[in-house]
Amino acid sequence: GSERMGGMKIGWLDNLADQIGKHYNSSDRMSGPSIQDKYVTALYFTFSSLTSVGFGNVSPNTNPEKIFSICVMLIGSLMYASIFGNVSAIIQRLYSGTARYHTQMLRVKEFIRFHQIPGGLRQRLEEYFQHAWSYTNGIDMNMEVLKGFPECLQADICLHLNKSLLQGCKAFRGATKG
Protein backbone atom coordinates (compact mmCIF):
# COMPACT_ATOMS: atom_id res chain seq x y z
CA GLY A 1 0.00 0.00 0.00
CA SER A 2 0.98 3.63 -0.26
CA GLU A 3 1.63 6.14 2.50
CA ARG A 4 -1.26 8.41 3.37
CA MET A 5 -1.09 12.05 4.45
CA GLY A 6 0.48 12.34 7.86
CA GLY A 7 1.85 8.79 7.59
CA MET A 8 -1.57 7.31 8.45
CA LYS A 9 -2.97 4.46 6.39
CA ILE A 10 -6.62 3.56 6.15
CA GLY A 11 -6.91 -0.15 5.45
CA TRP A 12 -9.71 -0.63 2.98
CA LEU A 13 -9.11 2.69 1.21
CA ASP A 14 -5.47 1.83 0.60
CA ASN A 15 -6.43 -1.66 -0.58
CA LEU A 16 -9.00 -0.11 -2.93
CA ALA A 17 -6.35 2.28 -4.27
CA ASP A 18 -4.00 -0.64 -4.87
CA GLN A 19 -6.73 -2.71 -6.57
CA ILE A 20 -7.77 -0.02 -9.05
CA GLY A 21 -4.29 1.42 -9.52
CA LYS A 22 -5.10 4.94 -8.24
CA HIS A 23 -2.61 5.29 -5.40
CA TYR A 24 -2.62 8.08 -2.86
CA ASN A 25 0.02 10.80 -3.24
CA SER A 26 0.89 12.80 -0.13
CA SER A 27 1.39 15.99 -2.19
CA ASP A 28 -1.94 15.69 -4.06
CA ARG A 29 -5.13 15.73 -1.95
CA MET A 30 -7.24 14.65 -4.94
CA SER A 31 -5.20 11.48 -5.54
CA GLY A 32 -6.50 7.99 -4.83
CA PRO A 33 -9.85 6.41 -5.67
CA SER A 34 -12.71 8.65 -6.75
CA ILE A 35 -15.50 9.46 -4.31
CA GLN A 36 -17.76 7.18 -6.38
CA ASP A 37 -15.36 4.25 -6.01
CA LYS A 38 -15.15 4.84 -2.26
CA TYR A 39 -18.95 4.97 -1.77
CA VAL A 40 -19.68 1.97 -3.98
CA THR A 41 -17.01 -0.10 -2.21
CA ALA A 42 -18.22 1.01 1.24
CA LEU A 43 -21.84 0.16 0.37
CA TYR A 44 -20.82 -3.18 -1.12
CA PHE A 45 -18.83 -4.06 2.01
CA THR A 46 -21.63 -2.98 4.35
CA PHE A 47 -24.37 -4.87 2.52
CA SER A 48 -22.26 -7.99 2.06
CA SER A 49 -21.54 -7.91 5.81
CA LEU A 50 -25.19 -7.20 6.74
CA THR A 51 -26.42 -10.09 4.64
CA SER A 52 -23.69 -12.31 6.11
CA VAL A 53 -22.42 -13.33 2.69
CA GLY A 54 -19.21 -11.29 2.96
CA PHE A 55 -17.11 -12.59 0.09
CA GLY A 56 -13.82 -11.37 1.57
CA ASN A 57 -12.77 -9.37 -1.48
CA VAL A 58 -13.35 -6.21 0.58
CA SER A 59 -12.30 -7.02 4.12
CA PRO A 60 -11.47 -5.06 7.26
CA ASN A 61 -7.77 -4.48 7.84
CA THR A 62 -7.44 -2.13 10.80
CA ASN A 63 -8.84 -2.65 14.30
CA PRO A 64 -11.49 0.10 13.90
CA GLU A 65 -12.62 -1.54 10.62
CA LYS A 66 -12.82 -4.92 12.33
CA ILE A 67 -14.86 -3.47 15.21
CA PHE A 68 -17.18 -1.80 12.70
CA SER A 69 -17.50 -5.12 10.83
CA ILE A 70 -18.41 -6.95 14.03
CA CYS A 71 -21.11 -4.35 14.79
CA VAL A 72 -22.50 -4.60 11.25
CA MET A 73 -22.59 -8.40 11.47
CA LEU A 74 -24.39 -8.25 14.83
CA ILE A 75 -26.93 -5.79 13.45
CA GLY A 76 -27.39 -7.99 10.38
CA SER A 77 -27.95 -11.06 12.56
CA LEU A 78 -30.52 -9.24 14.69
CA MET A 79 -32.28 -7.95 11.56
CA TYR A 80 -32.48 -11.46 10.10
CA ALA A 81 -33.75 -12.92 13.37
CA SER A 82 -36.37 -10.20 13.65
CA ILE A 83 -37.51 -10.44 10.03
CA PHE A 84 -37.70 -14.25 9.94
CA GLY A 85 -39.34 -14.37 13.36
CA ASN A 86 -42.04 -11.92 12.29
CA VAL A 87 -42.61 -13.65 8.95
CA SER A 88 -42.87 -16.98 10.74
CA ALA A 89 -45.41 -15.56 13.22
CA ILE A 90 -47.48 -14.05 10.38
CA ILE A 91 -47.55 -17.34 8.47
CA GLN A 92 -48.44 -19.23 11.63
CA ARG A 93 -51.35 -16.85 12.30
CA LEU A 94 -52.56 -17.21 8.72
CA TYR A 95 -52.69 -21.00 8.98
CA SER A 96 -53.87 -21.34 12.59
CA GLY A 97 -57.54 -21.25 11.55
CA THR A 98 -56.93 -23.89 8.90
CA ALA A 99 -55.12 -26.08 11.42
CA ARG A 100 -58.02 -25.74 13.90
CA TYR A 101 -60.50 -26.66 11.14
CA HIS A 102 -58.56 -29.79 10.21
CA THR A 103 -58.22 -30.79 13.88
CA GLN A 104 -61.96 -30.43 14.46
CA MET A 105 -62.81 -32.23 11.20
CA LEU A 106 -60.50 -35.06 12.26
CA ARG A 107 -62.43 -35.31 15.56
CA VAL A 108 -65.72 -35.49 13.65
CA LYS A 109 -64.35 -38.26 11.42
CA GLU A 110 -63.01 -40.18 14.43
CA PHE A 111 -66.44 -39.89 16.07
CA ILE A 112 -68.07 -41.19 12.88
CA ARG A 113 -65.62 -44.10 12.62
CA PHE A 114 -65.84 -45.01 16.34
CA HIS A 115 -69.65 -45.02 16.36
CA GLN A 116 -69.88 -46.60 12.89
CA ILE A 117 -72.23 -43.91 11.59
CA PRO A 118 -73.83 -45.02 8.27
CA GLY A 119 -73.01 -43.25 4.97
CA GLY A 120 -75.96 -40.85 4.64
CA LEU A 121 -75.81 -39.71 8.25
CA ARG A 122 -72.02 -39.45 8.03
CA GLN A 123 -72.30 -37.15 5.04
CA ARG A 124 -74.88 -34.98 6.83
CA LEU A 125 -72.61 -34.68 9.89
CA GLU A 126 -69.60 -33.65 7.77
CA GLU A 127 -71.64 -31.18 5.72
CA TYR A 128 -73.14 -29.66 8.87
CA PHE A 129 -69.67 -29.26 10.39
CA GLN A 130 -68.36 -27.61 7.20
CA HIS A 131 -71.38 -25.28 7.04
CA ALA A 132 -71.16 -24.38 10.74
CA TRP A 133 -67.42 -23.72 10.43
CA SER A 134 -67.86 -21.49 7.38
CA TYR A 135 -70.60 -19.57 9.21
CA THR A 136 -68.72 -19.08 12.51
CA ASN A 137 -65.08 -19.35 11.36
CA GLY A 138 -64.48 -21.74 14.22
CA ILE A 139 -65.69 -19.46 17.01
CA ASP A 140 -67.11 -21.43 19.92
CA MET A 141 -70.86 -20.87 19.62
CA ASN A 142 -72.00 -22.93 22.62
CA MET A 143 -71.77 -19.90 24.92
CA GLU A 144 -68.89 -21.24 27.03
CA VAL A 145 -67.29 -17.80 26.71
CA LEU A 146 -70.29 -16.12 28.37
CA LYS A 147 -70.02 -18.18 31.56
CA GLY A 148 -67.18 -15.97 32.78
CA PHE A 149 -69.33 -12.80 32.68
CA PRO A 150 -71.91 -11.54 35.21
CA GLU A 151 -75.49 -12.74 34.69
CA CYS A 152 -76.81 -9.26 33.78
CA LEU A 153 -74.21 -9.00 31.00
CA GLN A 154 -75.00 -12.54 29.86
CA ALA A 155 -78.69 -11.59 29.63
CA ASP A 156 -77.92 -8.47 27.56
CA ILE A 157 -75.76 -10.49 25.19
CA CYS A 158 -78.45 -13.18 24.84
CA LEU A 159 -81.04 -10.49 24.07
CA HIS A 160 -78.77 -9.04 21.41
CA LEU A 161 -78.03 -12.43 19.86
CA ASN A 162 -81.73 -13.35 19.72
CA LYS A 163 -83.00 -9.87 18.78
CA SER A 164 -84.36 -10.88 15.36
CA LEU A 165 -86.22 -13.86 16.85
CA LEU A 166 -87.72 -11.75 19.65
CA GLN A 167 -88.75 -8.92 17.32
CA GLY A 168 -90.53 -11.40 15.06
CA CYS A 169 -92.69 -12.69 17.92
CA LYS A 170 -95.91 -10.75 18.65
CA ALA A 171 -95.62 -11.32 22.41
CA PHE A 172 -92.34 -9.36 22.58
CA ARG A 173 -92.99 -6.54 20.09
CA GLY A 174 -93.98 -3.92 22.65
CA ALA A 175 -91.43 -5.01 25.27
CA THR A 176 -88.73 -2.64 26.48
CA LYS A 177 -85.13 -3.32 25.47
CA GLY A 178 -83.81 -3.83 29.02
In a 13 Å sphere around the CA of 147, the CA atoms on its Cβ side amount to 5
Is the per-residue pLDDT at 4 higher than 60? Answer: no
| SS3 per residue for 109-161 | HHHHHHCCCCHHHHHHHHHHHHHHHHHHCCCCCCCCHHHHCCHHHHHHHHHHH
Residue 51 is predicted with a pLDDT of: 76
Question: Are 13 and 33 in contact, with CB atoms under 8 Å apart?
Answer: yes
Q: Is the pLDDT of residue 87 over 90?
A: yes
Q: What is the pLDDT of residue 124?
A: 93
With CA atoms as reference, report the closest residue to 102 among 130, 135, 140, 139.
130
**Is the pLDDT score of 81 beyond 70?**
yes
| Residues 77, 62: Cα–Cα separation, whole Å | 22
pLDDT of residue 16: 72
Average confidence (pLDDT) over 135-147: 73
Q: Is the pLDDT assigned to residue 85 strictly greater than 90?
A: yes
Band of the pLDDT at 2, cuts 50, 70, 90? very low
pLDDT band at 5 (very low <50, low <70, confident <90, very high): very low
Burial of residue 33 (CB within 10 Å: 0-12, 13-18, 19+) is buried
Q: Residue 3: its pLDDT value, please? A: 45
Task: Choose from 19-23, 50-54, 113-117, 169-173 the range with maximum mean pLDDT.
Answer: 113-117
- Range ranked top by mean pLDDT from 17-31, 60-74, 101-115: 101-115
Indicate the domain borders of the chain.
Answer: 1-61, 66-141, 143-178
How many CB atoms neighbour CB 34 within 10 A? 11
Residues 36-56, mean pLDDT to the nearest whole number? 77
> What does the alpha-carbon distance between residue 52 and residue 75 come to, in Å, rounded to a whole number?
10
Q: In the beta sheet, which residues pair with residue 28? A: 25
Higher-pLDDT residue of 23 and 84 is 84
172/23 Cα distance (integer angstroms)? 95
Query: Rounded to a whole number, what is the largest CA-CA distance in the chain?
Result: 104
> For the whole prediction, is pTM greater than 0.75?
no
